[in-house]
Structure 1
Amino acid sequence: MKTTVVDLLKNRRSIYALGKNVTASQEEIASLVKSVVREAPTAFNGQTTRAIILFGDKHDQLWDIVVKRLKSEVPTEAAYESTKAKIASFKAGFGTIMYFTDEDIVRNEEQQFELYADNFADWAEQAQGNAQLAVWTALAENGIGASLQHYNPIIDELVHDAFDIPSNWRLRAQMPFGSIEAAAGEKEYMDDESRFRVLK
């Protein structure tokens, strides 16, 4: 069987050493992200995922918000210095994608399809996973490293105010990306016997 998709997925790793040495233009990256999110599947074709792509000063602004907000969350000054270094590694990248769920769409689906109402919030989260993995893999295919971060919900209000985000968009993840300045470490896999069953 063909294994091109498997090879692409293996190429997708969490890259934390990011840089700005990206040959693709901002426009090319934005176009790629839009295309991939557009094609990622959603339950009932609800298209609940939203993305904001940050470059330049806007990218820096996000990570400045995060590091400032974390000051009150970290217990010691030494821990905060470590936190600042981690956030600086994200800021060192070329850009960031913020992923949101349009909760108005979720609520409309719940009302329109009452039989499945309890499922639409879960399905919106699954749609997030679909979009995030697809974008991450597409970036990796183009030699661009990325990782997935979750500083929501503590930054939600600050982010909404800073970037004029609609109130019905709920922040789900942040994906800093850029040139790969250091490769990811070896990936470990659990035993297949603990993970899979094939029944015939």
Structure 2
Amino acid sequence: MTRDFYTAVEERRSIYGITDEFVITDERIEKIVQLAVANTPTAFNSQTGRVIVLLGNSNKDFWQVAFESLKSEINKEQIGKIEGKFKAFASGYGTVLFFEDYEVVTSMQEKFPTFHEQFTEWSHQASGILQYLIWTSLEYEGFGASLQHYIPAFSYDIRQQWGIQHGWKLIAQLPFGKPIVAPKEKEIKPLDQRIVIIK
């Protein structure tokens, strides 16, 4: 890709129309995720972020698990809409699952009790940075993606199969794939109402 970092930041959008067609190798995806996880800043260098990347059938399985877990909590009118949305996510190349390791958060709270309340907030801030970094990086490589926040219940078998450790809390999901639709135009509110420069 010839785009620079700032162009990637400017062009990142939520893209829902995706397919499982080839864009880059699985090895390249792994390198992108490794780079992001290794270099995302965290409070007190706590490194609380955990990531699972589901590709192929595992991606499809996740969205089926999510649908089965959540459909009992939604009304009948919403079921078809949610199922259609999840099938669209499952049709992509993969999904990145973002977790925070709450065992680490708890240990930091015990080690630094003065900041007990802040560590949960800092953990989520770090997760947001990690989500944004991976999202922008995947779009830089040619994928389309969108950030989701469904929290399904995972059975013991699924936890074992996917390596979800005790204490990991699911924060967000990033389904990604080859984009087949253009992103919607983004409305940006006047920046002079959102930024203050003081000299």
Q: Do both share a fold (TM > 0.5)? A: yes
Matched, 1:144 2:140: no
Which residues in structure 2 correspond to 1:55-70 (within 5 Å)? Answer: 55-70=55-70
Counterpart in the other structure of 1:163:
159
Task: Work out whether residues 22 and 144 of structure 1, in 8 Å CA contact, stay in contact via their aligned partners in 2.
Answer: no
Counterpart in the other structure of 2:97:
98
TM-score (structure 2 length as normaliser): 0.91
Which residues in structure 2 correspond to 1:65-144 (within 5 Å)? Answer: 65-76=65-76, 78-144=77-143
> Structure 1 residues 5 and 26 mapped into 2: Cα distance closer, same or farther (>3 Å)?
closer
What is the CA distance between 1:106 and its match in structure 2?
0.7
Secondary structure at 1:100 match in 2: strand
**Equivalents in 2 of 1:140, 1:17: separation in Å?**
13
**Deviation string for 1:124-154 (max 9, x for gaps)?**
00110110000011101100111111111xx
Task: Work out whether residues 100 and 171 of structure 1, in 8 Å CA contact, stay in contact via their aligned partners in 2.
Answer: yes
**Equivalents in 2 of 1:137, 1:33: separation in Å?**
11
Q: Name the stretch that deviates more: 54-63 or 109-118.
A: 109-118
**Deviation string for 1:76-98 (max 9, x for gaps)?**
2x431121111111001000111
Secondary structure at 1:190 match in 2: coil
**Deviation string for 1:45-83 (max 9, x for gaps)?**
11000000101121111000112223212212x431121
**Equivalents in 1 of 2:74, 2:110: separation in Å?**
41
What's the % identity of the aligned pairs? 34
Q: Aligned residues, how many?
A: 194
The residue type equivalent to 1:157 in the other structure is: F
Secondary structure at 1:156 match in 2: coil
Counterpart in the other structure of 1:178:
177
What is the CA distance between 1:104 and its match in structure 2?
1.0
Secondary structure at 2:109 match in 1: helix
What is the CA distance between 1:194 and its match in structure 2?
2.8
Task: Work out whether residues 145 and 175 of structure 2, in 8 Å CA contact, stay in contact via their aligned partners in 1.
Answer: yes
| Ranges in structure 2 where 5+ consecutive residues have no aligned partner | none
TM-score (structure 1 length as normaliser): 0.90
**Equivalents in 1 of 2:187, 2:98: separation in Å?**
27
| Ranges in structure 1 where 5+ consecutive residues have no aligned partner | none
What is the CA distance between 1:161 and its match in structure 2?
4.2
Secondary structure at 2:178 match in 1: strand
**Equivalents in 1 of 2:21, 2:11: separation in Å?**
19
Matched, 1:43 2:43: yes
Task: Work out whether residues 69 and 153 of structure 2, in 8 Å CA contact, stay in contact via their aligned partners in 1.
Answer: no
Secondary structure at 1:71 match in 2: helix
Secondary structure at 1:53 match in 2: strand
**Equivalents in 2 of 1:79, 1:114: separation in Å?**
44
**Equivalents in 2 of 1:11, 1:157: separation in Å?**
34
